[in-house]
Structure 1
């Protein structure tokens, strides 16, 4: 399991472009980045019934992940960790959180709003996205490299791979992957957000 970004001791973070999450060390002004993998355009609805698209993440750093509101297993644990991220960057307009529901048919806007209210999820900071199931799954696999088993519950409480949290920079490049169940890993995530913020303001 990929638990942490590999750049903890560094003042820069790698770039990722495949499901293997092999790090690519590139300068932020490298011409290679022009054609490098990035999160494509998307459009969903959030818990406030507002469109959530790549436009609201323009020049923002965000943490991306997957969940569904009735998940009894790992979701509450991941949510606790994301709450720490939200709290740390609550007053920082550069940092957002985006969780995509993998059960969008039952996770309606109203359901997500109730979930947000019950769990201290702050409007405008932490977006819970719902929309067309096929679109979400396609984005999950092609953009965020979630496994083919995404949402395959079967006989367990967990859904596979979705404990992963991904760090996306202001240019929609993937810059880190973290185990959202692991406190140390989420501490690295917070540190790496700080690294990205410094990079963003230095260029």
Structure 2
């Protein structure tokens, strides 16, 4: 946990340096963004930032969304997106996570290249009809944000080995551990992890928005 935080802090400091350069090069803003400011890649569960190596990509997945539609990697091909993990009857952090995902939905409602993906970690409760009711209650835009359910094994596997979202599993290697994470994971158009954020914190949400803008500039 400490090592992960240190690595992320290092990444954010270096990204901050990129922002300073961007401000100094006010007459060449685009050059500053594309040549100096860039997000790192995260290829392992310890979230060590790497600005050059692209090793880890989100593995293939197939789940059902709130409308009973099959959602796969192809549904997010060519899109930057934020993924998280939740369950509908969660009384703790999930309401805040969903609220902040809603803020992202509103902020990027007119951006066709940005999407959201929320995985239920309690699929035995969160059936398609349950997710649909939750989506309606929370104002989910079906075209922008998929709430997905599926076999527990598949969801837990992609959480742990795809998004590196379960720090407890990293430490214990206990497959029976219930996943309950506050992480928002930023994934680029090619399926690479480019950032991780505490989805309950307003400061991290603003930092996430800045990083989304960097990804948008990277692809220009």
* Partner Cα separation in structure 2 for residue 150 and residue 190 of structure 1: 33
Q: Which residue is equivalent to 2:44?
A: 18
How many residue pairs match? The answer is 188
Q: 1:72 matched to which residue of 2?
A: 91
For the residue of structure 2 that corresponds to 1:49, the secondary structure is coil
Larger RCO, structure (CA 8 Å, separation 6 or more): 1
- d(CA) in 2 for partners of 1:164 and 1:150? 19
State the Cα distance separating 1:191 from its structure 2 match: 0.9
Q: Tell me which residue corresponds to 2:73.
A: 54
* Separation in structure 2 between the aligned mates of residue 22 and residue 119 of structure 1, nearest angstrom: 34
In the TM superposition, residue 118 of structure 1 has moved relative to its aligned partner by 0.3
The 3 A distance-change label for structure 1 pair 197 and 151 is farther
CA RMSD of aligned residues (A): 1.8
- TM-score, normalized by length of structure 1? 0.87
Residue 200 (structure 1) aligns with: 219
1:15·1:175 contact (CA, 8 Å) conserved in 2? yes
- The equivalent residue for 1:44 is 63
- Give secondary structure in 2 for the equivalent of 1:184: helix
Where in structure 2 are the equivalents of 1:173-192 lying within 5 Å? 173-192=192-211
How far apart in 2 are the matches of 1:196 and 1:150?
34
CA deviation after TM superposition for structure 1 residue 151, in Å: 8.6
What does residue 25 of structure 2 align with? none
Residue 109 of structure 1 is matched in structure 2 by 128
Conserved 8 A contact 1:63-1:97: yes
- Cα separation, 2, equivalents of 1:8 and 1:50: 40
Q: Which contiguous aligned blocks of 4+ residues in structure 1 show a shift greater than 2 angstroms?
A: 1-5, 7-10, 149-153
Note if 1:95 corresponds to 2:129. Answer: no
Cα separation, partners in 2 of 1:88 and 1:151, compared to 1, 3 Å: farther
TM superposition shift of 1:146 = 2.2
1:69-99 Cα offsets, whole Å, 9 max, x none, are 0001000111111111110101111000001
Within 5 A, what are the aligned runs for 1:123-134? Answer: 123-134=142-153
Work out the CA distance in 1 between the residues paired with 2:123 and 2:137: 19
**Cα distance between partner residues in 1 of 2:16 and 2:70:** 35
TM-score (norm 2): 0.80
Higher fraction of helix: 2
SS in 1 for 2:157: helix
Specify the alignment match of 1:29 in structure 2.
none
